[in-house]
Amino acid sequence: MSYNCKDVVMAPYGEYWRQVRKICVLELLSTKRVQSFWSVRYEEVTNLIRRIFLVNGSQMDLSEKIFRLTNDITARAAFGKTCKDKEAFLSVTGDIIRLSAGFSFSDLFPSMKFLETISGIKSKMEMIHQKVDKIVDNIIREHKENRIGTETIEGEVEEDLVDVLLRIQEGGELEFPITMDNVKAVAYARTDTSSTVIEWAFTELLRNPRVMAKTQAEVRRIFDGKKKIDQADIEKLNYLRECRERCEIEGYEIPKGCKVMVNAWAMGRDPENWKDPESFEPERFQDLSIDYRGTNFKYIPFGAGRRMCPGILFGIANVELPLALLLYHFDWKFANDVKPEELDMAEDFSMVVRRKEKLYVIPMAYNP
């Protein structure tokens, strides 16, 4: 699915990986680029708010709506507003998530390649890969046919992420020329991380009425009387925002090519570092120098070092705005009279730990 390890996540460490990461950090996911997608995020979140108003007071599946929202934002940022394959993109993303969450004996015994065939996992992966290939091929072809771009009010050319990759490819000044597979691998990134964060955040807020009330009070105080929200308002929400070679580490020998998984979950819940680590207390971050940028190993949600997630700014932006506006426009309660302590908090195994059960809630419009 990563086009023979050509994306920034799966590419082996080396000159090619450094080049791809540089493109991501300086071009695709830079602060300026992420800020340029503000109108996309705001429009999509506003559309979601309108749809929720239509079901005011009724039960709704918030999990599905958030998943669709973050996919729509990512699809528009990556492929442009007029992308004809948005629904196909959403569908195949769901297929990838379900496949990655499944169990296969080939994962336990990776040296036994025949297990991939007899288990059916290989044929499923190839089928999904063909779908992804077709979608991204269509998108790239459309972009190549329309290279003039869309003019903004300031007279600059509006570029989505595919436009940027094609521009870099055509420039021909890179040490490793970018092929179509490179463009596809980088353009088709996972989008379920942002939706999962929003879903879990909402779950914890609903289970902790004190924190919910404090968060909504902050959002409504800062947004009060404003017809339109901008990035500066979001930044005021302090409470809401809160192996290639063999080596030896701490006496453990790490063979060349060995996959090493760092348990960031356990590090962020170590009672030696955090008081009551299992309790939902955003206040713990208010007067703390530790943040999420990978500078302290007590808390590394985006990783750290050279392999740190290059999409950190894009991911944070896709979480903050939806959370803020959903909390501003509505009061919320669990559907079916479920009490906070009774909510099923079971997790679904996958590359991203999602809720096993859908989050059903009842929105109640807030009238300031």
Residues in the annotated binding site: 309
Residues at the annotated binding site for heme? 309
Q: How many CA atoms lie within 13 A of 95 on its CB side?
A: 17
Phi, psi dihedral angles at 271 (to 5 degrees): -65, -15
Tell me the CA distances in angstroms from 107 to 101, 122, 192, one per residue in order: 12, 12, 22
Cα–chain center distance at 285: 22
* Cα–Cα dist 228/250, whole Å: 53
Q: Which residues contact 80 (CB under 8 A, 6 or more apart)?
A: 143, 160, 162, 163
Distance CA(182)–CA(312), nearest Å, equals 21
Q: How far apart are CA 40 and CA 33, in angstroms?
A: 12
Report the candidate in 274, 264, 273 with the shortest Cα–Cα distance to residue 305. Answer: 264
Residue linked to tokens 């050319």: 157
Outline where the chain has alpha helix (H): 15-23, 31-36, 38-54, 62-79, 86-101, 105-108, 114-118, 121-145, 161-171, 180-187, 192-207, 209-223, 231-235, 264-267, 312-329
Nearest C-alpha neighbor of 219 from the set 327, 358, 122: 327
Give the integer Cα–Cα distance in Å for 310 and 25: 6
Q: 132: which 2 tokens?
A: 């992804």
Neighbours of 265 (CB within 10 A): 9
Q: Which of 178, 247, 184 is nearest to 16 (CA)?
A: 178
> How would you write 83-141 as a 3-class SS string?
CCCHHHHHHHHHHHHHHHHCCCHHHHCCCCCHHHHHCCHHHHHHHHHHHHHHHHHHHHH
Q: Which two tokens stand for residue 16?
A: 């090619």
